[in-house]
Chains A and B, each alone.
Chain A
């Protein structure tokens, strides 16, 4: 079976001119990363802060062009697409970020935030309102929320709206970058269940990024662990959980506090 998303030899290097040395200091944020995600499965990506998780996410969808390497989504190499082709392809893949507060324009009523996304997705104007209501319903909100501003919503509700917006273009692939880290424990469970439902319902494929190993263990079909930009562990979840190959993975699991200890 060909994977839905495949990443080969992906690297991202940031260069910043150093004031003192007049030289260029390079940060190798992502180094030679390869993996593949089968359709309708979830790859979990974990690692400590600064390990390159968010950089990888942005490079993957070419929000920041990778320094090298190839990404294929549904068999199409993204690098070969022109700007217009890339914009079209991006409808099929969306990123949901950690902080729902920063993700919504505070001065736009929810209907306009959703309307904008629907317009980008090519939905004709007269259909947008109905589609917006449908999107809200998908995430457990109602039409009464359309006229409100973001400040009227709790963090969990905002994250639902952000997810609704990501679904506007009927994407097939979602990158979820710490989608519940800023939410309360009881609200996290609501959002995770919602994401799992949506995945089943629409046959979605996820790259699920989190520093929380218990959460990654729960959601993932396959798991990758990043350390200093390198994918030091990658394999089916069962295997990574039971017999991690890298010493680093073992250390991470041992250090992370768990409610239910199985090992």
Chain B
């Protein structure tokens, strides 16, 4: 069954992923059995509040978890019939950046201040493709055109560029080796709305032109609604709902998703109090037992505090991890 869910070809499949860190001597389970399918050619939005595990997931996909606090990863990340978590570093290195590339929220932090944009691209092409100087030059120009940056940028350093241009440069680097998968971690969060709009349009165009599959992480529901084909919601280190864009935004089944959508302010809500989810997001060192959302859930029942609801298909193409999906009643006077 690998490589497909239903009728859909998958480029990346995550199975029962657990990632554990140590925080102040306590064990912090950042991912607690994550399952996810990234389908060929889709933009897959991944939403969740801080600490939900979005960034940890992206790092884990590329086996990037390091550092003294990292304890262990278990589970599988399947890509082209292989479990990426079992690869040796030299093998994963050939995939990282070349076949699966990542774009970060703050490009300035991930670009070397001592290298020009051209040197960045050239180093990358040489490393992954063994491309020599001349063809690299042609490819570099082509990349800049793809991300709509002027050629002069090649001789510039990251700090000389605006936030939007840095993000374009970062995207140029990410697509330099023709990756199949792009992991984007809050790629527009630090940008102004007009620049954000340009970057979102760029991503949509690149997906169409290059057939990229994109995992798009954001805490901003409105942004995800605009770009994603499919949306997954993370809570407490687990995927709790997954559906096609309009199904998720119009007919959310998980109480957390539904309440989160209702808490977003807009002109349409003027004069009325916003819906509020009481309490706070759980910390990875103290995720509540049973359904992690139960202390905040208005319809929690006894079993919710004891049993763990698994993610299962509620109906075709719409999965949810809740014992009472779709049962949160609409407040009076709610507008869609």
Give 1 or 0 for each of B250-276: 1 = CB within 8 Å of chain A CB. 000000000111011111111001111
With A196-B273, A213-B193, A259-B222 known as contacts, the answer to whether A188 contacts B263 (CB < 8 A) is yes
Do the beta carbons of A241 and B274 come within 8 Å of each other? no
Q: Which of A185-230 contact B (CB under 8 A)?
A: 185-190, 192-193, 196, 211, 213-215, 217-219
- Which residues of A are found within 8 Å of B220, using beta-carbon distances? 257
Confirm or deny: A258 has a beta carbon within 8 angstroms of a beta carbon on chain B.
Answer: yes
- Which residues of A are found within 8 Å of B273, using beta-carbon distances? 193, 196
Q: Which of A35-94 contact B (CB under 8 A)?
A: 48-49
Q: Which of A20-28, A130-138, A141-149, A248-256 contacts B (4 or more CB under 8 A)?
A: A248-256
Residue of A whose beta carbon sits closest to that of B51: A184
Give 1 or 0 for each of A154-177: 1 = CB within 8 Å of chain B CB. 101100000000000000000000
Confirm or deny: A247 has a beta carbon within 8 angstroms of a beta carbon on chain B.
Answer: no
Confirm or deny: B105 has a beta carbon within 8 angstroms of a beta carbon on chain A.
Answer: no
- Which residues of B are found within 8 Å of A255, using beta-carbon distances? 193-194, 196-197
- Which residues of A are found within 8 Å of B222, using beta-carbon distances? 214, 256-259
Do the beta carbons of A185 and B260 come within 8 Å of each other? yes
- Which residues of B are found within 8 Å of A219, using beta-carbon distances? 265
Residue of A whose beta carbon sits closest to that of B272: A218
Do the beta carbons of A215 and B265 come within 8 Å of each other? yes
Residue of B whose beta carbon sits closest to that of A213: B193
Do the beta carbons of B267 and A218 come within 8 Å of each other? yes
Report the tally of A-B residue pairs with Cβ distances under 8 A: 100
Do the beta carbons of B266 and A218 come within 8 Å of each other? yes
User: Would you give the shortest CB distance from B241 to chain A, in whole angstroms?
Assistant: 15
Confirm or deny: B225 has a beta carbon within 8 angstroms of a beta carbon on chain A.
Answer: yes
- Which residues of B are found within 8 Å of A196, using beta-carbon distances? 273
Do the beta carbons of B265 and A257 come within 8 Å of each other? no
- Which residues of B are found within 8 Å of A156, using beta-carbon distances? 280
- Which residues of B are found within 8 Å of A259, using beta-carbon distances? 221-222, 225, 249, 261, 264, 266
User: Would you give the shortest CB distance from A56 to chain B, in whole angstroms?
Assistant: 17
Do the beta carbons of A217 and B274 come within 8 Å of each other? no
**Interface residue tally for chain B (C-beta within 8 Å):** 36
Residue of A whose beta carbon sits closest to that of B280: A154
- Which residues of B are found within 8 Å of A157, using beta-carbon distances? 280
Confirm or deny: B120 has a beta carbon within 8 angstroms of a beta carbon on chain A.
Answer: no
Confirm or deny: B154 has a beta carbon within 8 angstroms of a beta carbon on chain A.
Answer: no
Q: Which of A186, A192, A211 is in CB contact (< 8 Å) with B49?
A: A186
Residue of B whose beta carbon sits closest to that of A183: B50
Q: Which of B44-58 contact A (CB under 8 A)?
A: 49-50
Do the beta carbons of A193 and B197 come within 8 Å of each other? no
- Which residues of B are found within 8 Å of A188, using beta-carbon distances? 263, 265
Confirm or deny: B206 has a beta carbon within 8 angstroms of a beta carbon on chain A.
Answer: no
- Which residues of A are found within 8 Å of B14, using beta-carbon distances? none
Give 1 or 0 for each of B8-29: 1 = CB within 8 Å of chain A CB. 0000000000000000000000
Q: Which of A185, A241, A262 is in CB contact (< 8 Å) with B221?
A: A185
Give 1 or 0 for each of B265-294: 1 = CB within 8 Å of chain A CB. 111111001111110110000000000000
Tell me the complex Cα distance, A188–B298, Å: 19
Q: Would you list the 9 A-B pairs with minimal beta carbon distance, nearest first?
A: A218-B265, A189-B263, A217-B267, A257-B222, A184-B49, A48-B192, A255-B197, A186-B277, A189-B274
A–B complex contacts, Cβ < 8 Å, 8 sampled = A48-B193, A187-B49, A192-B265, A255-B196, A256-B197, A257-B193, A258-B222, A260-B335
A-side residues, CB < 8 A to B, are: 48-49, 154, 156-157, 184-190, 192-193, 196, 211, 213-215, 217-219, 237, 241, 251-252, 255-260, 262
16 additional A-B pairs beyond A156-B280, A190-B277, beta carbons within 8 Å, are A184-B49, A184-B50, A188-B263, A189-B263, A189-B265, A192-B274, A214-B222, A214-B265, A218-B266, A219-B265, A255-B193, A255-B196, A257-B193, A257-B197, A259-B261, A260-B268
